Amino acid sequence: MMNYIWSGMIVLAIIFAVCSGNTQAVSDAVFSSAEEAVTVTLKMLGMFCLWGGLMRVAQQAGLTDRFARLLSPLLDRLFPGIQNDSAAKSAVSMNITANLFGLGNAATPLGIEAMRRLKRHAPFQDTASNDMILFVVLNSACIRLIPTTVAMLRHDSGSHAPMEILPATLCVSFLSCAGAILLTKLFGRKHG
Amino acid sequence: MSEIGTFVLLFCIGGILIYGACKRVRVFDVFLEGAKENISCAVAVLPAFVGLLLAVQMLTASGVSDALTAALTPLLSKLGFPAEVLPLCILSPISGSGSLSAFQSLLTTYGADSFIGRTASVIAGSTETTFYTVTVYYGAVGIKKIRHTVLCALCADGISFLLSAVFVRLFFD
């Protein structure tokens, strides 16, 4: 799947570049992208270490298990594959919490920890299980309570009420998450 | 606005460390263990990330989003969706920085409190960079066959886009 998407994107870009005479900009993008990937990874490296360390402390103190128990009724329904794995459940719930509070930098390393735990229950080691798919889809849809970055940008461009979009944002986020869960469950059932 | 975020962050870090210390966890030693384990994790993401950024930046530089916008405008105006927001919709699943600058330019061109500005705000506040999430999460744990992940994630994005215009009309008209 990713093979088709990836090569499709690049071929499309090249065809378009030739048609519209943008070849110079596109070839510049080739080098700048590789550079940027390293810069971003280096930035992530620090974040990964920071949250990996903090989470280990929370784990050993039993804090993450408490969280998992709190979210357990919801998690058991969404991720039936990890019902009996409290470590996986706490990793998933930490990621969801970080997302809700808009701690995007923390959500990614916590999410990857959760993915590692979810993978242990996957029937095939190179194929995403239903639980993994739902987890990734939920992370790519947005489950944020307060859109701080958006409110900040609105404030900077002279909005009278930067937070007035909050009710609409919450409704849209909630409905698109519900739709995402429904679709993922439907597809998961069809293909086993 | 960012104050809420800052407060939550500091509260989380402080809370974890204080709770850990109360439970007699050797806080710093344990922190180092966890941090060390995650180094390999970040490095594992790099190859997938180089690949993704290559495709994304080539695509944005090629101007394909302008062409898509022109092609889809008549259809969208029938659905009551402002076509001006379309570049933001096209960029938001593939590029975080790209969609942020598209959002910014919509705010400066049309004003934050206009219909277009509000719709763009709701979209920016209720979507994530789908391809980034898919690449990083699967790349880190070495999953190759991702089945219906991208399809479902993009459908969720599509739902967000269309509902944004609907709810802005509902709440502000």
| Domain boundaries, given as residue ranges, for chain B | 41-172
Instruction: Evaluate if residue A191 carries a pLDDT over 70.
Output: no
For range B88-94, the mean pLDDT? 91
B10 and chain A: CB distance < 8 Å anywhere?
A: no
Burial annotation A78-102 (CB, 10 A radius, 16+ → b, else e): bbebbeebebbbbbbbbbbbbbebb
Helices (H), chain B: 2-22, 27-61, 64-79, 86-91, 96-110, 115-126, 130-141, 149-172
Look up residue B46 and give its amino acid. Answer: L
Closest residue in chain B to residue A188, using alpha carbons only: B148
Evaluate whether A60 touches A87 at the Cβ level (below 8 Å). no
Q: Do A61 and B16 touch (CB under 8 A)?
A: yes
Q: How far apart are CA B122 and CA B172, in angstroms?
A: 12
Widest CA span of chain B, in angstroms?
65
Residue A129: what are its φ and ψ, rounded to 5°?
A: -80, 165
For range B74-95, the mean pLDDT? 89
Closest CA to B117 of B96, B88, B95, B94: B88
| ipTM, 2 dp | 0.88
B150 and chain A: CB distance < 8 Å anywhere?
A: yes
Cross-chain CB nearest to A154 (options B17, B107, B144): B107
Q: Do B152 and A187 touch (CB under 8 A)?
A: yes
A103 and chain B: CB distance < 8 Å anywhere?
A: yes
Instruction: Evaluate if residue A105 carries a pLDDT over 70.
Output: yes
DSSP helix/strand/coil, A110 = helix
Closest CA to A165 of B157, B115, B108, B101: B115
Q: Do B146 and A128 touch (CB under 8 A)?
A: yes
The minimum CA-CA distance between A4 and chain B, rounded to whole Å, is: 12
Which residues in chain B have Cβ-Cβ distances shorter than 8 Å to A1? 145-147, 149-150
B40 and chain A: CB distance < 8 Å anywhere?
A: no
Residues in Cβ contact with A101 at an 8 Å cutoff, skipping those fewer than 6 apart: A144, A145, A146, B5, B8, B12
Which residues in chain A have Cβ-Cβ distances shorter than 8 Å to B164? 168, 172
Instruction: Evaluate if residue B168 carries a pLDDT over 70.
Output: yes
Residue A170: predicted pLDDT? 93
Which residues in chain B have Cβ-Cβ distances shorter than 8 Å to A184? 148, 152
Q: Which residue has the higher pLDDT, A189 or B17?
A: B17
Evaluate whether B6 touches B14 at the Cβ level (below 8 Å). no
A149: number of Cβ within 10 Å:
18
Which residues in chain B have Cβ-Cβ distances shorter than 8 Å to A169? 121-122, 125-126
A113: number of Cβ within 10 Å:
29
DSSP helix/strand/coil, A158 = coil
Could you read off the pLDDT of B43-79 as tens digits, one per residue? 888 888 899 889 988 988 888 888 888 888 888 888 8
A93 and chain B: CB distance < 8 Å anywhere?
A: no
Report which secondary-structure segment, H or E, holds A50: helix A23-60
DSSP helix/strand/coil, A141 = strand
Closest residue in chain B to residue A173, using alpha carbons only: B126
Cross-chain CB nearest to A12 (options B54, B57, B64): B64
A177: number of Cβ within 10 Å:
19
Could you read off the pLDDT of A128-179 as tens digits, one per residue? 999 999 999 999 987 788 787 888 889 989 999 888 999 999 999 999 999 9
Confidence category of residue A120, pLDDT binned at 50, 70, 90: very high
Closest residue in chain A to residue B131, using alpha carbons only: A140
Sequence ranges of the domains in chain A: 35-190
Confidence category of residue B4, pLDDT binned at 50, 70, 90: low
**What mean pLDDT is reported for chain B?**
89
- Comparing A152-161, A178-187, B147-156, the range with the smallest average pLDDT is A152-161
Q: Which residue has the higher pLDDT, B66 or B84?
A: B84
Instruction: Evaluate if residue B31 carries a pLDDT over 90.
Output: yes
Could you read off the pLDDT of A31-54 as tens digits, one per residue? 999 998 888 888 888 888 888 899
Closest CA to A182 of B129, B159, B164: B159
The minimum CA-CA distance between A78 and chain B, rounded to whole Å, is: 15
How far apart are the two ends of chain A, measured CA to CA in Å? 18
